[in-house]
Structure 1
Amino acid sequence: MGNIVAVTGATGDVGGKTLSLLHAAGVPVRAIVRRQRQANAFAARGIDARVADLGDPHALTRALEGVDQLFLVTAVSPEQAEHGAVGVAAARAADVRAIVHLSASDAAEDSPLPWAAAIWTTNELVRASGLAWTILHASGFMSNLTSSAPALRRGFLPQTMGDGRIPWIDTADIARVAARVLQDGVHQGAEHVLTGPELLDGRALARALSRGLGREVRYVHLPSRVFAGMLRLTGMPTWFAEGLRQQFGRVARRAMDGIDLRTDDVERLTGHPARSVTAWARDNRATLLGMG
């Protein structure tokens, strides 16, 4: 019981990949999920799962009983800061030894991005928790580019980042780092900045996608408000579209809050270099081009 690693966001991208890597390595894991059918699906894979919500401190505390380390992943939502606070408080109440928190490279107290400000607040709570901890500051997820698939199929990448540069990272690399850190189990207040191998502005990003997809993709610069309007037309909530407008049209363009910092932390921690956008696009070509 004493070496269990619990993962919130276990049905999501980074959380799910991390949990799978740990399980494959023989690490005792526990998926924290919101619905019984999700718990049943993990049980069918031989994985312990508990139903609890990051909005319910009592249920989460019960779900974390007997856990040694918690990988705290919070979903982007208006309640993200609250969920982070509940996660830290429940870990303390359940006598969890250590927290690994998935943060962001642009987390900042006064960020115009609601998720960057929320995750900064959680970082502060983790640091002050009295528990052992490690924080992983991840840069922009390559998987988020999947939302541009309809435009990519027509040969365009509509964006508003302009000359702003981002070191996009494959979420599989974040999971590899998280799994390595959790397997080692040694936490001394380290804060790792996880990025891809290249700083890419909008046009360089389009060229990298072109190479991976095997067809030309042209960057189309949109005014930030037009970009947000385009996102809202897809059904995206207004607060999320506005946040993305700020992320790319302000934070990325102006290189605010360390968004343009590139590191070799992925390779240093795992022994393998981070994957490029071109390699990611090549591996996801069928999805991005609607060929699946």
Structure 2
Amino acid sequence: MGDIVAVTGATGDVGGKTVEALRAAGKTVRAIARRPEQVEAFRARGIDARQADLGDLPALTAAFEGVDQVFLVTAATQQQREHGVVGVQAAQRAGVRALVHLSGGDAALGSTIPWARAVAEIDVDVRASGLEWTILHPSGFMTNLLPSGPTIRRGFFPQTMGRGVIGWIDSQDIARVAARVLTDGVHVGAEPVLTGPELLDGRGVARALTEGLGRRVRYVHLPSRAFEGVLRVTGMPAWQAAGLRQQFGIVARHGLDGIAVHTDQVERVTGTPARSMADWARASREVLLGR
């Protein structure tokens, strides 16, 4: 068995950043991608890559052959639960030693949020897999604010979370934690909750954006149904818009499912503090402001 780390979701946000962080740490990485052109792009950069869909158990098992650890990242789709099942089974069949699962800070089996329920169910599979494991529970991603760029440019941050608080985290910090855990390679059933350095409600997010962007951004509170309607107008699928309404209009607004938690786990694991929302906005200025 080689000391290879396979990363699913390698073309996505956290997965892609983790691939780079692992390479920087000197680890041998295998990127798992769905399309041939994605595989070729990784290989052109000198990164081992294999083609496999998370819904294809034989292909994913083959992609995991010779791998020591897997970073299991599943996308928030209607097939997320199925993809998690396949990911765990493929790791078992391929003889993988350890799994690191990207779960969620609000993961809960009874959640009304599709992706929070899906990752909680995958967590159950990971714990029962018979493999060594670590489960990461990150809070709300700062990068999820990027689609709000057009309204932020106009000076507004429309949301429905009200005074509910979230420990917003930079996805780069999640990747740094994942890379350190995978580089150390020691898995004893830990489930660290990963957050940024502060708990922010809607107005707090607007203040941080104002500071980071150097221009005023105001929080605009929307009733949850109006928030869902706005998302639908942008072309978002109904199931996803309904899930986001639940996530922000109910879970975040009322502090349910452990979402209103702040920890220093990013610094404990990596030795470097998590990035603040203002610093993230400053670094993301060109994208947020369309420049």
Same fold (TM over 0.5): yes
- Amino acid aligned to 2:279: A
CA distance in 1, matches of 2:24, 2:220: 42
Partner of 1:286: 286
SS at 1:135's partner residue? strand
Deviations 1:187-210 (A, max 9, x none): 000001000001001111100110
- Amino acid aligned to 1:135: I
Deviations 1:207-231 (A, max 9, x none): 0110000000000000001001101
CA distance in 2, matches of 1:211, 1:24: 31
Partner of 1:111: 111
- Amino acid aligned to 1:248: F
SS at 1:190's partner residue? coil
CA distance in 1, matches of 2:184, 2:212: 34
- Amino acid aligned to 1:75: A
Q: Which runs of 5+ in 1 are unaligned?
A: none
Partner of 1:7: 7
- Amino acid aligned to 2:108: A
CA distance in 2, matches of 1:2, 1:130: 20
Partner of 1:171: 171
CA distance in 2, matches of 1:287, 1:13: 15
Normalising by structure 2, report the TM-score: 0.99
Q: Offset at 1:21?
A: 1.1
Write out aligned runs for 1:121-132 (5 A): 121-132=121-132
Q: Offset at 1:26?
A: 1.8
Partner of 1:250: 250
Q: Which runs of 5+ in 2 are unaligned?
A: none
> Given the alignment of the two structures, is residue 72 of structure 1 paired with residue 62 of structure 2, yes or no?
no
CA distance in 1, matches of 2:150, 2:51: 36
SS at 1:76's partner residue? coil
- Amino acid aligned to 1:167: G
Normalising by structure 1, report the TM-score: 0.99
- Amino acid aligned to 1:202: G
CA distance in 2, matches of 1:232, 1:276: 30
Q: Offset at 1:24?
A: 2.2
Partner of 2:229: 229
Q: Offset at 1:251?
A: 0.2
Partner of 1:140: 140
Percent of residue pairs identical:
69
CA distance in 2, matches of 1:188, 1:13: 26
CA distance in 1, matches of 2:124, 2:31: 25
SS at 2:149's partner residue? helix
- Amino acid aligned to 1:111: S
CA distance in 2, matches of 1:26, 1:160: 43
Deviations 1:151-204 (A, max 9, x none): 000000000000100010000000000000000000000001000001001111
CA distance in 1, matches of 2:26, 2:219: 44
Partner of 1:34: 34
- Amino acid aligned to 2:287: T
Q: Offset at 1:16?
A: 0.3
Deviations 1:86-107 (A, max 9, x none): 0000000000000000000100
Deviations 1:25-47 (A, max 9, x none): 22111000001100000001111
Partner of 1:43: 43
Partner of 2:193: 193
CA distance in 1, matches of 2:35, 2:140: 28
Q: RMSD over aligned Cα, in angstroms?
A: 0.6
CA distance in 2, matches of 1:198, 1:113: 23
SS at 2:111's partner residue? coil
Deviating above 4 A after TM superposition, structure 1's stretches of 4 or more consecutive aligned residues are none
